[in-house]
Chains A and B, each alone.
Chain A
Amino acid sequence: MQPTSHAFPENARAELGNETLQRALGLARTGFPLRRQQAIERLPEFEALREEGRAIKDHTLAHLDFYLELYERKVIEAGGQVHWARNAEEARAAVLGICRSVAAKTVTKGKSMVAEEIALNDYLEANGITPIETDLGEYIIQLRHEPPSHIIAPAIHLMKEQVADTFRAAHTDLDPTRVLDEPRTLCDEARTVLRPHFLDADVGITGANFLVAETGSSIIVTNEGNGDLTQTLPRVHIVITSIEKVVPTLEDTATLLRLLARSATGQEFSSYTTLSTGPRQPGDLDGPEQYHVVLLDNGRTGLLGGEFQDMLRCLRCSACLNHCPVYAAVGGHAYGWVYPGPMGAVLTPALVGVGEAGHLPNASTFCGKCESVCPVKIPLPKMMRHWREREFAERLAPPVYRSGLRLWAWLAQLYHALAETAGRVLGWAGQGRGRFRALPLAAGWTRVRDLPAPEGRSFQSLGAERQRRAGAGR
Chain B
Amino acid sequence: MTARDDILGGIRRALKRGPLAGKAATALAERVGAHRRNLVPARAAALDHAGRVELFVQMAEEVQTTVARVAAEAEVPREVARYLAAENLPAELVMAPDPALDAIPWEARPLLQIRRGRAGPGDAVSLAPCLAAVAETGTLMLVSGPDTPTTLNFLPDTQIVVLRAGQVVAAYEDGWDLVRGLPTMPRTVNFITGPSRTGDIEQRIQLGAHGPRRLHILLIEDRGAEAEHAPAAA
Contact = CB atoms under 8 A, between A and B. Distances in A.
A275 B37 CA distance: 18
Contacts of A43: 41, 43
Contacts of B212: 225
A214 B35 contact: yes
Interface string B18-55: 01100001001001100111110111000000000000
Most buried by B among A155, A274, A295: A274
Nearest to A82: B4
A265 B192 contact: no
Contact of B188 (A154, A269, A276): A276
Contacts of A187: 198, 201, 206, 208-209
A137 interface: yes
Given A65-B11, A254-B172, A270-B193, A223 B151 contact: no
Interface string B42-73: 11000000000000000100110000000000
Nearest to A150: B200
Contacts of B28: 63, 66-67, 248
A27 interface: yes
A118 B125 CA distance: 39
A279 B117 contact: no
A250 B172 CA distance: 9
A429 interface: no
Interface in B113-166: 117-118, 121, 137-139, 144-146, 149-151, 153-155
Most buried by A among B11, B144, B194, B202: B202
B3 A232 contact: no
Nearest to B189: A275
Interface in A258-301: 258, 265, 267-281, 283-287, 295, 297, 301
Contacts of B19: 65
A243 B7 contact: yes
Given A66-B28, A251-B176, A254-B173, A223 B209 contact: yes
Interface stretch (B81-89, B179-187, B219-227): B179-187
Nearest to B96: A285
A350 interface: no
Interface in A129-152: 134-137, 140
B175 to A, nearest CB: 9
A255 to B, nearest CB: 4
A284 B10 contact: no
B193 A277 contact: no
B150 A255 contact: no
Interface string A55-70: 0100000111111111
Given A286-B118, A287-B187, A232 B198 contact: no
Contact of A225 (B43, B97, B209): B209
Given A229-B154, A229-B210, A248-B32, A140 B188 contact: no
Contacts of A302: 10, 14
Nearest to B151: A286
B8 A68 contact: yes
A195 interface: yes
B39 A45 contact: yes
Interface stretch (A84-92, A333-341, A368-376, A400-408): A84-92
Contacts of B4: 84
Given A65-B19, A69-B8, A280-B144, 18 more contacts: A27-B203, A31-B203, A44-B41, A48-B39, A49-B41, A56-B38, A64-B15, A86-B7, A226-B211, A229-B155, A248-B32, A254-B38, A254-B171, A276-B187, A277-B189, A285-B149, A297-B3, A305-B14
Most buried by A among B35, B97, B198: B198
Contact of B3 (A28, A62, A85): A85
A438 B207 CA distance: 79
Given A78-B185, A224-B196, A269-B139, A301 B151 contact: no
A86 B11 contact: no
Contact of B196 (A67, A213, A223): A223
Contacts of A97: none
11 contacts: A153-B200, A195-B210, A224-B211, A225-B210, A265-B199, A267-B193, A277-B186, A284-B146, A287-B149, A287-B150, A304-B14
B15 A248 contact: no
Interface of A: 24, 27-28, 31-32, 43-45, 48-49, 52, 56, 62-70, 78, 84-86, 90, 134-137, 140, 153-156, 158-160, 163, 183-184, 186-188, 190-191, 194-195, 198-199, 213-215, 217, 223-226, 228-229, 232-233, 243, 248-252, 254-255, 257-258, 265, 267-281, 283-287, 295, 297, 301-302, 304-306
A204 to B, nearest CB: 12
Nearest to A306: B14
A223 B149 CA distance: 20
Contacts of A297: 3, 7, 10
A228 B153 contact: yes
B186 A281 contact: yes
A431 B227 CA distance: 87
B202 A213 contact: no
A278 B202 CA distance: 37
Contacts of A155: 200-201
Contacts of B199: 153, 223, 265
A272 B187 contact: no
B78 interface: no
A44 to B, nearest CB: 8
A236 B26 CA distance: 36
Contact of B149 (A250, A254, A286): A286
Most buried by B among A194, A225, A250, A255: A225
Most buried by A among B11, B20, B201, B208: B201
Most buried by B among A154, A156, A250, A304: A250
Contacts of A252: 38
Contacts of A265: 199
Interface string B88-111: 000000000100000000000000
A226 B198 CA distance: 10
B209 A191 contact: yes
Given A56-B38, A90-B3, A65 B20 contact: yes
Contact of B208 (A191, A194, A232, A285): A191
Contact of B190 (A66, A198, A228, A301): A228
Nearest to B17: A65
